[in-house]
Structure 1
């Protein structure tokens, strides 16, 4: 990809979700936001509802979802805000959500995730971060494919992270069955998987008018970091020369997700990675910005798809 083909927008790191969606009318559009009851998920849902969309918060904690829905309705005046239960670490829950969806789906924001958690495994024996951040969203998105097709032009937003720079998908031992578990390497490969999913899903579904892009929202202090100590954050700041991470507000953190979901500048665009409201360039050595070549590798993307299909259909 050359610099000339890279997508830029009038927005940047300080832009908010409300700003990037200003002037865009989403009336009649149906949206699902996973993890919509906390962190940037709340502000993603708020901005999309504020633009007129019918928004479903797909959440593990429906009581928190109900409180968020009430808040979004109160602040936007849009009463078309719903709550549905979704536990991405539970494949039965994911399938039930997809099977229960009726009608078209115009925008799917795969926002939920866990970060740097202690070693945990699902009932299938899958490592918990990969299972939640990638395999759960894989089953959800493929399960909702008929609804996305019915939209007559749909977008899927895959929320990744600069942490994808920590690790490619290690196909030889995805679930840390033979190598020592490292929470950051596990998180990193799950975030790489989010980008690879965008690459292969776009290749498969662009003909149906479905385009999938990945993004780095930026550093935002939310419940996502519940497993990350202040000492670890200090270590990360020191490793980046003392200047990072530079925290965004949740409203700023949601901006790139909302831009990828709605901007006319991305019509017909998929399989790319965005940060700070623009398409990212290649990662340069010893930096924490840009996208790793391995995350956009079409062969790795196709391999991950096959591995994922085999995993979720072999139960």
Structure 2
């Protein structure tokens, strides 16, 4: 199967990708849409005429963003709802309040290389926020996604997934020393595996899911990393926030992605599968373990078990 390419690339912006797409009457949710990539992804969706919900921790910041998006796009159907991905009760409340079909779910929110921290359930924070919270959200909204008939899930991963597979026997670092980058890498691998298994399970409902690497962009995500990138990533590989949101927008709205799922994209194109770091240019390539169907099924089962145990 050949890799999917598009007319867009490294320098494309989210607005350019969304231009000419009409999603009037359709509904979208973007998590973490009060800053950074989430804002520009939501703005691109608003440009298509979609009804966009900003799912955010800080609703005051979300309201400011919503007003700005409406002012710049002319779309008044931009709403704000509270969502704390690390809190299962918050995820459940958000899903319970949703009424009607959902066309696009962009799992964008995340934390990167944070200090060692655990949720009330004992889950490592990055795995809990980046993966488990989004898993709980997507599964709780499955009925709404299925009701749409051709829904899409966008899972924002990272080339950081190449730092670690999911360590199934110790996702919460109970037996190994905590390393913020290994924890981040594991959570980003989980984002890709989720897209693989969600597509396998839900394609019959018209739901597809894809994962992506947005690129190197300086946003609030790097607040724990002392400006990650200045000494590790070549300056010519950095993107603006508008460029960084382009691949998310592509997976969410482009007709070229109709019926396509379980894949990993970067720079607005499907990126090659690799067996070791360095087999692809910097920031590109997807580790084979991140697309492994067996690993994807195992992660789904583990995630269901962890959430069920927390609810009992």
TM class by shorter chain equals: over 0.9
Q: 1:63 to 1:292 in 2, by over 3 A?
A: same
Aligned with 1:27 (options 17, 24, 29): 24
- Whole-Å separation in 2 of the counterparts to 1:20 and 1:72: 17
1:112 aligns with 2:103: no
3-state SS in 1 of match to 2:54? strand
8 Å CA contact retained: 1:219, 1:245: no
Q: 1:244 to 1:306 in 2, by over 3 A?
A: farther
- Whole-Å separation in 2 of the counterparts to 1:195 and 1:282: 12
**Deviation of residue 236 (structure 1)?**
2.1
Q: How many matched pairs? A: 306
**Deviation of residue 194 (structure 1)?**
0.2
3-state SS in 2 of match to 1:207? helix
Aligned with 1:164 (options 121, 142, 161): 161
1:6 aligns with 2:15: no
**Deviation of residue 235 (structure 1)?**
4.2
2:303 maps to what in 1?
A: 308
1:257 aligns with 2:248: yes
Aligned with 2:210 (options 213, 235, 244): 213
**Deviation of residue 245 (structure 1)?**
7.4
1:296 aligns with 2:301: no
1:93 maps to what in 2?
A: 90
Aligned with 2:54 (options 52, 57, 60): 57
**Deviation of residue 233 (structure 1)?**
3.4
8 Å CA contact retained: 1:111, 1:159: yes
- Whole-Å separation in 2 of the counterparts to 1:223 and 1:201: 28
4+ aligned runs moved over 4 Å, structure 1: none
Q: TM (normalized to structure 1)?
A: 0.95
- Whole-Å separation in 2 of the counterparts to 1:254 and 1:233: 18
Q: TM (normalized to structure 2)?
A: 0.96
Structure 2 residue ranges without an equivalent (≥5): none
1:277 aligns with 2:272: no
- Whole-Å separation in 1 of the counterparts to 2:235 and 2:186: 21
- Whole-Å separation in 2 of the counterparts to 1:279 and 1:30: 25
- Whole-Å separation in 2 of the counterparts to 1:57 and 1:20: 20
8 Å CA contact retained: 1:130, 1:190: yes
- Whole-Å separation in 2 of the counterparts to 1:145 and 1:245: 40
Give matches, 1:36-75, under 5 Å.
Answer: 36-75=33-72
1:236 aligns with 2:232: yes
Q: 1:138 to 1:219 in 2, by over 3 A?
A: same
**RMSD over equivalenced CA pairs, Å:** 1.1
